[in-house]
Structure 1
């Protein structure tokens, strides 16, 4: 790994770009930050470094949409199920940290892009609401615990549940928030956070806040259609690099 100063610079750049995107479209921070950082370190280390920034990002995103208590009441069951799944995924990550998780992350990104491209319909989600919530919440949590990316699974659920843009942002960020809380608790119990890592994480919050503020400002300026296309291309390239890294 690079020297501490070089790594902090790389981390800051990654967090700035990812926070800017998240602020602009309402999600995307872990989906961008995790694979970018995983390209210069292992999956567990990448997740540890962005755990605290992710927590802050989720809180800012939820509150920026307004009606926090209403959103919490509506999506609390999904978030709790996601938290359980995240606990399972995190335990697996702690005891079997493997390069194969980079491949799983790449697959999660490809799945998200595939869903966005072909607008897949899963009618049973509407017909069996409780069952689908449990299935998608648990699967999203486990994948989130392993790879830090829940979006691909949660977006399928949200789109098929006919959620509005605001509801999608609130539900996904609440699930990320609950999942991240249990993940941080488990990592702390396991002793994964050291003084250097915590200092770097908290120091990077300044970058995150500035980027999120700018992202929220440009949210209604940049055409979302063009913006999302650029992000999808970037995600596709990152996923390809992760696959190459894992195989070779």
Structure 2
């Protein structure tokens, strides 16, 4: 991959917008950055390019909510399950296309929004906590490894588990942190990180920090009710982008 001036500008803009959204609502960086970057490069390269910035963003998001060790203690089982799923998904991505899985993810998001619209509750998630944690953790990890979009599945789990805004932000970012570390190790093992990709990734960290700082300032002013609405709107937009990318 050549680091042309056009690519650096586009990459920086994508990092800024995605980081700003993530800082504001607590998630969204990979869900926005991946499909946008995939429009100017291939899916695998897009995921690799934002791998290192994603680690930084996840750490900032978790620490910004406070009680880091308490969050790790509470959500590490879900994160470990997600890590296993991420390893499986990444291995599949390395050797095959993930277009079909992107479409599957999009329809699963739309199905959830349909359930929310008509007030159909998924009570089994709260009634069978251990089973639902394994199912959603593994599914989120696999899809995250394939498409870099793990948060949407975890948000469905968190909303139905009646988690607070703080718990949603910490659990999703912790799971993605564990999954991304696994993904980076596997990509490194297969020699996917070229010098050009490493340069673009590390050079984009400054843009990420600035955008996250602005986003975190905005986040504190968003009430819980508005936050949930924003989450659902973003989920719908994600599903639409995934379908567009797969069909077109």
**Scaled by the length of structure 2, what TM-score is found?**
0.89
1:160 deviates by: 1.7
Q: Relative to structure 1, is the Cα distance of residues 245 and 70 closer, same or farther in structure 2, using a 3 angstrom cutoff?
A: closer
- Which moved further from structure 2: 153-162 or 226-235? 226-235
What corresponds to 1:67 in structure 2?
Answer: 67
Task: Tell me the alpha carbon deviations over residues 64-122 of structure 1, each in whole angstroms, 9 at most, x when there is no partner.
Answer: 00000000000010000000000000000001135445534544654565466455421
- Which moved further from structure 2: 25-34 or 58-67? 25-34
1:166 deviates by: 0.6
Contact 2:12/2:204 (CA < 8 Å) preserved in 1?
A: yes
Contact 2:87/2:182 (CA < 8 Å) preserved in 1?
A: yes
Map 1:115-194; keep pairs closer than 5 Å: 117-118=117-118, 120-194=120-194
What corresponds to 1:83 in structure 2?
Answer: 83
What corresponds to 2:36 in structure 1?
Answer: 36
Contact 1:75/1:174 (CA < 8 Å) preserved in 2?
A: yes
1:225 deviates by: 6.2
Gaps of 5+ in 2: none
What corresponds to 1:50 in structure 2?
Answer: 50
Classify the secondary structure of the residue corresponding to 1:218.
helix
1:58 deviates by: 0.3
Q: Relative to structure 1, is the Cα distance of residues 136 and 35 closer, same or farther in structure 2, using a 3 angstrom cutoff?
A: same
Classify the secondary structure of the residue corresponding to 2:219.
coil
CA-based RMSD of the aligned residues comes to 2.5
- Which moved further from structure 2: 198-207 or 94-103? 94-103
Contact 1:111/1:152 (CA < 8 Å) preserved in 2?
A: no
Q: Relative to structure 1, is the Cα distance of residues 101 and 49 closer, same or farther in structure 2, using a 3 angstrom cutoff?
A: farther
1:202 deviates by: 0.4
- Cα distance in 1, alignment partners of residues 83 and 28 from structure 2: 19
Map 1:15-34; keep pairs closer than 5 Å: 15-34=15-34
Map 1:198-213; keep pairs closer than 5 Å: 198-213=198-213
1:221 deviates by: 3.7
- Which moved further from structure 2: 182-191 or 25-34? 25-34
- Cα distance in 2, alignment partners of residues 234 and 89 from structure 1: 23
Q: Relative to structure 1, is the Cα distance of residues 48 and 111 closer, same or farther in structure 2, using a 3 angstrom cutoff?
A: farther
1:37 deviates by: 1.3
**Scaled by the length of structure 1, what TM-score is found?**
0.89
- Which moved further from structure 2: 2-11 or 198-207? 2-11
Task: Tell me the alpha carbon deviations over residues 197-246 of structure 1, each in whole angstroms, 9 at most, x when there is no partner.
Answer: 01000000110000000111122346776687678667645644543443
Contact 2:141/2:150 (CA < 8 Å) preserved in 1?
A: yes
Contact 2:19/2:208 (CA < 8 Å) preserved in 1?
A: yes
